[in-house]
Chains A and B, each alone.
Chain A
Amino acid sequence: MIYFDNSATTKIDPSVLATYDKVATTIWGNPSSLHKMGDRAHQLLEASRKQIGDLLGVKPYEIFFTSGGTESNNTAIKGTAIQKREFGKHIITSSVEHASVASAFNSLENLGYRVTRLPVDKEGRVSVNDLRNAIDSDTTLVSIMGVNNEIGTIQPIDEISDLLENYPTIQFHVDNVQALGKNIWDKVFTPRVDLSSFSAHKFHAPRGIGILYKKVGKMLTPLHDGGGQEKGLRSGTENLPAIAGMAKAIRLLLDNEAEKAAREEAIKEKIINYLQDKPGIDIFSPANSGFAPHILCFALEGIRGETLVHTLEDQDIYTSTTSACASKTADEVSTLVAMRVNDKIATSAIRLSFDESNTLAEADEFIKVFDKIYKHFAKINHLGENDD
């Protein structure tokens, strides 16, 4: 079995699962309880927060636990929009965001907010100039992802940060669900970033847990009111087993980060070397520093992405059409469409996504299997023959 769909989800790490299990069965007090059991849970909760803060290079009190990337994104975006509505109702995002960002903006638009969706170039990247032109005195929020989930483009978060230095009242949110542990931290997280989202199941931790980074002093209106957990920003009894598991998973993830990212990049390069210059193959994720090392999106013209995914699946190789979250709805190929890739090619795209458990041997095996598939489809579709 070759699992090349790590941007969809990852397999839980056995030692992270062991932590989850231990916490769930022995440290199951409510962190808010006054007694010893509660205190023990509270201590572990705060120790987890501190470990994560230390690993990410931020303060522990800037780490808020949520149910995952979707909630973090919604809280950051809607929380800002509501909090700052008296100062302006113009909010800016890109046209290639994950559905949880894009849909949150759609909802706010329906509520009367004015939304600007920045276009992208043929590599899927927004332009800082476009952003500069879009900002006006009503703008309260800019939300741009760190790494695109479909093709791996790294957005110019550093340049955007420089620009936003001139607009201190605008809250800057970066969806970093795809970006953690890929040795690109400095590119996707700057001191100007006010809010950032992370999802644990993308790095071998359990589902249902994630992080919202909120810079100290920044204000958000909570979406979940209740018992006042997470300093009132996210009420609800803390999911301690998952939080502890996530803290551990981040430690493991960031250990030897550079080396692991280099290995993922090597896998990507190896497959790109095989694919490039093949008639009918379009590569959207070149191997350069403008792209994350772990995502490779390409299309085989004439074959729908889902056909290719199932064909590979028959050979026990697991991949995805573009955004897995939207894979089951036929009209969602948003990043490629925004890049003005021809519809026919866009619907032919598949995404391979690697992580540290993948090997170069798996890349070789993939190439071997894919080569047979390619030759078969190339013949049917007359790829490489002169079509004039």
Chain B
Amino acid sequence: MIKYTEVMIRYGELSTKGKNRKDFIGRLAGNVTKVLKDFPEVEIHPRHDRMHIVLNGASFDKIDKRLRKVFGIQTYSPAIKVPKTLTDIEETALALMQETFKTGMTFKVNTKRSDHHFEYDTNQLNSMVGDYLFDHMDGLKAEMKHPDIVLRIEVRQDAVYISSQLLHGIGGMPVGTAGKAMMMLSGGIDSPVASYLAMKRGVEIEMVHFFSPPYTTEKALAKAKELTGILANYCGKINFIAVPFAEIQETIKEKLPEGYLMTVQRRFMLQLADRIRAQRVGLAIFNGESVGQVASQTLQSMVAINDVTTTPVIRPVATMDKTEIIKLAEEIGTFDLSIQPFEDCCTIFAPPRPKTKPKLDKAREYEARLDVEGLIERAMTGIEITPIYPNEKFINDQAAADQELL
């Protein structure tokens, strides 16, 4: 087993953003630091063209799992630092090739030299290392144009760095570079996927979750928090804002006609999300709506609901099919939890026949019958904010402990 000593990270899209480059690199370095914070031995050196992570003994396999979830990384390569002698270069190159090579693959050696005083130049190194590999391995085939393996040798001032793998990151932009927004997280399948897509474009999100005890159980709240824990893998930490919603729902149920229960509830949710956004200095609101999926997500409903704010409301999964959303949910690991059947506040008080084409003026008129400001004020005072870290658990703690009995 090869012991890698460092990881070289190549930046993604941000390389093209000339003037904001410094900020982007700083954010990415900060995000990498956050996801690797339980590896104190690791050193992170952001440079203008690449970022170097010095492992200092940390396992690359474990680091690798974390880096795969950091937006803004285009590609990265684990490398081994060796002393500047030909023997060290050759032996390490051979060990790396033996680990990476599979029968039938082609390769080339690609040397770069920033230390121009090194005794061999790039062509000499390419051919000497190539010869050495041919002498010590069977079945090798060199290929200059499209090799399967590129063995990279970088001769720098301090040492020589050798790598043989080019791994793909998830791309996107470093979380935080696009600013902050509120994410309306329900606990279903769609809103976690929308959260992921928001972060992918560099948005720092804070979760706004509505809960309605005793109509919703503690478990529904715990489930939303745990989903947030899964999503926190992509940024290191997400604030979870729980908003009590029962009083608003009860009032609407009591006072308004059934056909508009859902529409007016949604208007309240959006107003609350916007109020929280203003308080926390966010720029936009994200949600998991998909056009036409349910009554509240028709274009007519969006008109009647979106009416309460001029803040941009961004719907990353608006045009995705359910199957596409599910596929992504499975990839990011939220699907299994999302389908756990705990009632959330969208399903209770759901009228049997909600209007799929609510009218804007009716929605406004009905809403005006209520003490909107008082209701929103009281909900705002009941808000609870919890910072949530990657993979934090909130449900089934007892069940997990009980399983030790088995």
Contact = CB atoms under 8 A, between A and B. Distances in A.
Interface residues of B, number: 7
A199 to B, nearest CB: 19
Contacts, number: 30
B213 to A, nearest CB: 14
A23 B405 contact: yes
Contacts of A251: 406
B396 A244 contact: no
A27 B398 CA distance: 11
Nearest to A26: B402
Interface in A16-73: 19, 22-23, 27, 40, 43-44, 47-48, 51
B349 to A, nearest CB: 20
Nearest to A248: B406
A43 B402 contact: yes
B399 interface: yes
* Interface size class, chain A: 10 to 19
Contacts of B398: 40, 43
A43 B406 CA distance: 12
Nearest to A19: B405
Nearest to A23: B405
A247 interface: yes
Contacts of B399: 40, 43-44, 47
B77 to A, nearest CB: 37
User: What secondary structure prevails in chain A residues at the interface with B?
Assistant: helix
A247 B406 contact: yes
A48 B406 contact: yes
Nearest to B218: A36
A43 B399 CA distance: 6
A48 B405 CA distance: 10
A23 B406 CA distance: 10
A200 to B, nearest CB: 13
A202 B402 CA distance: 25
A260 to B, nearest CB: 20
B396 A44 contact: no
A19 B406 contact: yes
A44 B399 CA distance: 6
B399 to A, nearest CB: 4
B117 to A, nearest CB: 61
B310 interface: no
B323 interface: no
B402 A27 contact: yes
Nearest to A52: B406
A43 B400 CA distance: 9
A19 B403 CA distance: 10
A44 B396 CA distance: 10
Contacts of A247: 406
A51 B399 CA distance: 13
A15 B16 CA distance: 63
B402 A248 contact: no
A170 B406 CA distance: 35
Q: Which 7 A/B pairs are nearest by Cβ-Cβ distance?
A: A43-B399, A247-B406, A19-B405, A44-B402, A47-B403, A248-B406, A51-B406
18 contacts: A19-B406, A22-B405, A27-B402, A40-B398, A43-B396, A43-B399, A44-B399, A44-B402, A44-B403, A44-B405, A47-B399, A47-B402, A47-B403, A47-B406, A48-B406, A244-B406, A247-B406, A248-B406
Interface of A: 19, 22-23, 27, 40, 43-44, 47-48, 51, 244, 247-248, 251
Given A51-B406, A244-B405, 6 more contacts: A19-B405, A43-B398, A44-B405, A47-B406, A51-B403, A251-B406
